[in-house]
Structure 1
Amino acid sequence: MKAPIFCTVLLLAVSLPAAAETPSCGAGAVFEDANGNGRREPDEAGLGGIQVSDGVDIVETDSSGRYNGLDGGGSRTVFVIKPAGFVAAVRADGLPDVWRNPPSGAGSQLKYGGIRPVPGLCRDFALRREAKRRPGLDALLFGDPQPKSAADVDYYRRDIVAPIAGRRSAQLGLSLGDIVDDDLSLYPAMNRVTATLRIPWLHVPGNHDLDLDAASDEDSLLTFRNSFGPDTFAWEEPEAIFVGLDDVVYQPDRKPAYIGGLREGQFAFLESYLRTVAKDRLLVIAAHIPFFDAGKPGKPSFRVADRERLFALLKDFPHVLLLTAHSHTQRHVFHDAADGWRGAAPLHEYNVGAACGAFWSGAKDTAGIPDATMADGTPNGYATLRVENAGRYSLVWHPARDPDDAGIGLHAPKALRRGAWPAWGVYANVYMGRDDSRVQYRIDGGEWKAMDKVEKPDPRLLAENAKDDAAERLRGYDRSPEAEPSPHLWRGALPTDLAAGTHEIEVRAPDAWRGELRARTRYRLQEASP
Structure 2
Amino acid sequence: MSSSRERTKLHVALALTTLVAGSLAAVVPASGAAAATRPGGWNDSAYRGQVEVVRTPDGPADPSVLTGTVFVDRDRDSVHDRHERGLRGVVVSNGRDVVTTDARGRYRLPAYDNMTVFITQPAGYQVPVDDYNIAQFHYNHLPEGSPELRYGGIAPTGPLPDAVNFPLAESRVTESREQHCVIAGDLQPYDKEEVGYARKGAIDDLSRRDDYQGCGTLFIGDVVGDDLSLYPDVRELTKLTNGPARFLPGNHDLDFDAETAEHSFDTFRAQLAPAYYSYDVGDVHVIALNTVRYPCTPEVDNADGLRPQCDNPSTRPAYNGRISDDQLTWLERDLAKVGRDKLVVLASHISLLNWADEGSPIHQVDQVRKVHELLEGRKAVAVSGHSHSIENMKTGDLAKGWKDLFGVEGLPFPHITAGAISGDWYSGAITDEGYPVAVGRDGGMPGVLTLDVRGNAFRERFTVTGQDDDVQTRLGLNSPTYREWYAARQAWNDDQQGPEPVLGDPLVLDREDLTGRTWLTTNFWMGSTGSTVTVKLDRGRAQRATRTQEMRGEDQLIGAEWSDPHAAAQQLVNGGSVADRSMHLWRYELPADLAAGEHRAVVTATDSYGRRFTDVLEFQVVEQH
TM-score band w.r.t. shorter chain = 0.7 to 0.9
Deviations 1:203-230 (A, max 9, x none): 1111111110001111101001001221
For residues 498 and 252 of structure 1, do their structure 2 counterparts lie closer, same or farther at Cα, with a shift above 3 Å needed?
closer
**Which residue does 2:547 correspond to in 1?**
453
Question: Is 1:29 aligned to 2:69, yes or no?
Answer: yes
**Which residue does 2:138 correspond to in 1?**
99
**Which residue does 2:348 correspond to in 1?**
287
Most deviating of 450-459 and 419-428 = 419-428
For 2:519, which of 392, 410, 425 is the aligned residue?
425
**Which residue does 2:334 correspond to in 1?**
273
For 2:390, which of 323, 330, 340 is the aligned residue?
330
**Which residue does 1:465 correspond to in 2?**
571
**Which residue does 2:426 correspond to in 1?**
360
Matching residue's letter, 2:584 = H
Q: What secondary structure sits across from 2:66 in the alignment?
A: coil
Most deviating of 412-421 and 348-357 = 412-421
Q: How does 1:123-522 map to 2 (within 5 A)?
A: 123-131=164-172, 134-170=176-212, 171=214, 172-251=216-295, 255=309, 257-292=318-353, 299=361, 301-304=363-366, 306-317=367-378, 319-334=379-394, 346-389=412-455, 391-403=456-468, 405-412=470-477, 413-417=506-510, 421-422=514-515, 423-454=517-548, 455=557, 456-468=562-574, 479-495=575-591, 497-513=593-609, 515-522=611-618
Matching residue's letter, 2:567 = L
Deviations 1:436-491 (A, max 9, x none): 533221111421112122342211122113434xxxxxxxxxx2223331111111
Q: TM-score, normalised by structure 1?
A: 0.87
> For the residues of structure 1 that align with 2:252 and 2:331, how far apart are their CA atoms?
25
| Gap runs ≥5 in structure 1 | 1-16, 469-478
Q: What secondary structure sits across from 1:153 in the alignment?
A: helix
Matching residue's letter, 1:314 = L
Highest relative contact order (Cα 8 Å, sep 6+), 1 or 2? 2
| Gap runs ≥5 in structure 2 | 1-52, 298-307, 311-317, 478-505, 549-556
Quote the offset at 1:116 in angstroms.
Answer: 2.4
Paired residue total: 498
For residues 291 and 298 of structure 1, do their structure 2 counterparts lie closer, same or farther at Cα, with a shift above 3 Å needed?
closer
**Which residue does 1:3 correspond to in 2?**
none
Matching residue's letter, 2:423 = G
> For the residues of structure 1 that align with 2:334 and 2:95, how far apart are their CA atoms?
10
**Which residue does 2:492 correspond to in 1?**
none
Question: Is 1:62 aligned to 2:62, yes or no?
Answer: no
Quote the offset at 1:421 in angstroms.
Answer: 3.8
Most deviating of 405-414 and 173-182 = 405-414
> For the residues of structure 1 that align with 2:384 and 2:150, how far apart are their CA atoms?
28
Aligned partners of 1:500 and 1:524 also within 8 Å: yes
**Which residue does 1:85 correspond to in 2?**
124
**Which residue does 1:47 correspond to in 2?**
87
Q: What secondary structure sits across from 2:414 in the alignment?
A: strand
Aligned partners of 1:105 and 1:115 also within 8 Å: no
Aligned partners of 2:187 and 2:223 also within 8 Å: yes
Quote the offset at 1:502 in angstroms.
Answer: 1.9
For residues 18 and 397 of structure 1, do their structure 2 counterparts lie closer, same or farther at Cα, with a shift above 3 Å needed?
closer
For residues 24 and 244 of structure 1, do their structure 2 counterparts lie closer, same or farther at Cα, with a shift above 3 Å needed?
farther
Q: TM-score, normalised by structure 2?
A: 0.74
**Which residue does 1:8 correspond to in 2?**
none
Aligned partners of 1:103 and 1:121 also within 8 Å: no
> For the residues of structure 2 that align with 1:198 and 1:80, how far apart are their CA atoms?
22
Quote the offset at 1:78 in angstroms.
Answer: 0.6
Aligned partners of 1:55 and 1:77 also within 8 Å: yes
Aligned partners of 1:31 and 1:127 also within 8 Å: yes
**Which residue does 1:472 correspond to in 2?**
none
Aligned partners of 1:25 and 1:101 also within 8 Å: no
Aligned partners of 2:572 and 2:578 also within 8 Å: no
For residues 316 and 63 of structure 1, do their structure 2 counterparts lie closer, same or farther at Cα, with a shift above 3 Å needed?
same
For residues 298 and 231 of structure 1, do their structure 2 counterparts lie closer, same or farther at Cα, with a shift above 3 Å needed?
closer
For residues 49 and 330 of structure 1, do their structure 2 counterparts lie closer, same or farther at Cα, with a shift above 3 Å needed?
same
Q: What secondary structure sits across from 1:28 in the alignment?
A: strand
Most deviating of 235-244 and 250-259 = 250-259
Matching residue's letter, 1:33 = D
Aligned partners of 2:68 and 2:165 also within 8 Å: yes
> For the residues of structure 2 that align with 1:420 and 1:130, how far apart are their CA atoms?
61
For residues 231 and 299 of structure 1, do their structure 2 counterparts lie closer, same or farther at Cα, with a shift above 3 Å needed?
closer
Deviations 1:385-426 (A, max 9, x none): 11111x210001111101354111001341223697443221
For residues 164 and 198 of structure 1, do their structure 2 counterparts lie closer, same or farther at Cα, with a shift above 3 Å needed?
closer
> For the residues of structure 1 that align with 2:360 and 2:191, how far apart are their CA atoms?
36
Aligned partners of 2:206 and 2:242 also within 8 Å: no
> For the residues of structure 2 that align with 1:79 and 1:24, how far apart are their CA atoms?
17
Matching residue's letter, 1:274 = L
Matching residue's letter, 1:229 = A
Matching residue's letter, 1:239 = D
Matching residue's letter, 2:152 = G
> For the residues of structure 2 that align with 1:214 and 1:202, how far apart are their CA atoms?
24
